[in-house]
A = this chain, B = another copy of it.
Amino acid sequence: MQKLVKSRSNTIGMPPGTLVHIGEKKRESTLMTLVEYDEASFRQKNLGFQELESLETRETGIRWLHVEGLSQVEVLEAIGRLFSLHPLILEDILNTDQRPKIDVNDDYIYVSAKMLSYQKEPGEFDIEQVSFILGENYVVSIAEKDTDVFEPIIKRLQQGMSRFRKLGSDYLVYSLLDVIVDNYFSVLEAFGDEVEIVEDEMVVRTSRQTLRTIHKLKRQILFLHKSVWPLREVLSFLERGESLLVRETTEIYIRDLYDHVVQVMDTTETLRDILSSMLDVYLSSSSNRMNEIMKVLTIISTVFMPLSFIVGVYGMNFKNMPELDWPWMYPLLWLVMIGISISMLIYFKRKKWW
């Protein structure tokens, strides 16, 4: 499970714009991939730090620089210089504990989102921050670790069959965000499956494990909600078309993406409500079981306590106990005791205790 709050204590008092990586280090070195394409051509290559420094501006086509790993701060600084980014933007890229946000400048738009990837263990998912810089004819995407979710995008660009390569850098950013949002659905799907499993076993048995799973799922849903919710505002801002960097033709796609995010939020909230309700049901179910256990105990006690008392009576050693000498007393007592037991059981049966 994620830590509830990530440590950023080492940044207190530092000037804003100081580049310190906040969050778990997920990848040691930094890997850079450069994709350049226009309607006619497509080129993809890995980039070293030196090459990054000596990159020249291009006249035509779109340049997409994809960076994986945040540990080499100097790479980020170089990117900042190359695309003249504000220091606060670089700080935001490194601070992986922040909410998805958008920052619109004259020359570029900064967008950050959370990529979720479901882990094997029930309710576990990994949160990774992905930042995008959208410029007139370039896109920089920065991920915390190596990920292959953007592979299909590269493949679609490479094939060049669709109109993709004719469209601008804003459409590329949309496509990347679309992949991220699509991933939310698979995480939610896995979540929904977990919830259904717990739902089924909950009413049958009330094990401690079930309780732990419910709590964990609820906690994780809260995290998921927190990670996705602000993306709504980000997309709503993008769609409103206040920046010239987002073309009008792209806006309908972003609106569609916005609808998807709202759908994700809706499902998240439904899941949260169901989980809350499940805790209540669990408690009631547990209290129900207790009732049943208590009934067994009470039936047993109610039947055997009077019987034990009766046999105790005739275990007394008084001289003067005439019953002890009656020959038919012993079998009679058995009849009496069986009679008592049966009438007790009938009584409990009537009371619907079993």
On A, residues with C-beta under 8 Å from B are 3-9, 11-16, 86, 88, 91-92, 97-99, 101, 103, 149, 151-153, 156, 162, 164, 175, 178-179, 182-183, 185-186, 188-189, 191-193, 195-196, 199, 203, 205-206, 208, 211-212, 214-215, 218-219, 222-223, 226, 252-253, 255-256, 259-260, 262-263, 266-267, 270-271, 273-274, 276-291, 293-298, 300-302, 304-309, 311-321, 323-330, 333, 352
Main secondary structure of the interface of A (DSSP, over half): helix
Task: Determine if B285 and A211 form an interchain contact, defined as CB atoms under 8 angstroms apart.
Answer: yes
Q: Given the interface contacts A324-B319, A325-B319, does A291 sit within 8 Å of B291 by beta carbon?
A: no
Copy number in this complex?
5
Q: Given the interface contacts A182-B13, A302-B300, A304-B309, does A208 sit within 8 Å of B6 by beta carbon?
A: no
Identify 10 new A-B residue pairs, CB closer than 8 A, beyond the known A16-B253, A308-B309. A5-B191, A88-B252, A98-B260, A98-B263, A203-B211, A214-B281, A294-B294, A297-B302, A308-B312, A312-B315
Cα A12 to Cα B92 in complex, Å, equals: 28
Q: Taking the nearest CB of chain B, how far is it from the CB of A183, in angstroms?
A: 6
Task: Determine if A226 and B283 form an interchain contact, defined as CB atoms under 8 angstroms apart.
Answer: no
Task: Determine if A162 and B4 form an interchain contact, defined as CB atoms under 8 angstroms apart.
Answer: no
Which of B195, B208, B253, B320 has a CB less than 8 Å from the CB of A4?
Answer: B195
Q: Provide the residues of chain B in CB contact with A270, threshold 8 Å.
A: 4, 222-223, 226
Chain B residue at minimal CB-CB distance from A196: B4
Q: Taking the nearest CB of chain B, how far is it from the CB of A13, in angstroms?
A: 3
Task: Determine if A14 and B284 form an interchain contact, defined as CB atoms under 8 angstroms apart.
Answer: no
Chain B residue at minimal CB-CB distance from A353: B293
Q: Provide the residues of chain B in CB contact with A196, threshold 8 Å.
A: 3-4
Q: Taking the nearest CB of chain B, how far is it from the CB of A40, in angstroms?
A: 20
Chain B residue at minimal CB-CB distance from A264: B5
Q: Provide the residues of chain B in CB contact with A281, threshold 8 Å.
A: 211, 214-215, 279
Of A13, A179, A196, the most chain B CB neighbours within 10 A belong to: A13
22 A-B residue pairings within 8 Å (CB atoms):
A4-B195, A8-B182, A8-B186, A9-B185, A13-B149, A13-B179, A98-B259, A99-B259, A99-B266, A203-B208, A208-B288, A211-B285, A215-B281, A226-B266, A226-B267, A282-B284, A283-B287, A301-B301, A307-B309, A308-B308, A318-B329, A319-B327
Which of B263, B267, B291 has a CB less than 8 Å from the CB of A289?
Answer: B291
Of A192, A206, A286, A316, the most chain B CB neighbours within 10 A belong to: A316
Q: Provide the residues of chain B in CB contact with A9, threshold 8 Å.
A: 185-186, 189
Of A11, A98, A293, the most chain B CB neighbours within 10 A belong to: A293
Q: Provide the residues of chain B in CB contact with A255, threshold 8 Å.
A: 103
Of A103, A215, A289, the most chain B CB neighbours within 10 A belong to: A215
Task: Determine if A318 and B302 form an interchain contact, defined as CB atoms under 8 angstroms apart.
Answer: no
Task: Determine if B316 and A327 form an interchain contact, defined as CB atoms under 8 angstroms apart.
Answer: no
Q: Taking the nearest CB of chain B, how far is it from the CB of A3, in angstroms?
A: 6
Chain B residue at minimal CB-CB distance from A323: B318
Q: Provide the residues of chain B in CB contact with A317, threshold 8 Å.
A: 314-317, 321, 324
Cα A188 to Cα B214 in complex, Å, equals: 24
Task: Determine if B311 and A4 form an interchain contact, defined as CB atoms under 8 angstroms apart.
Answer: no
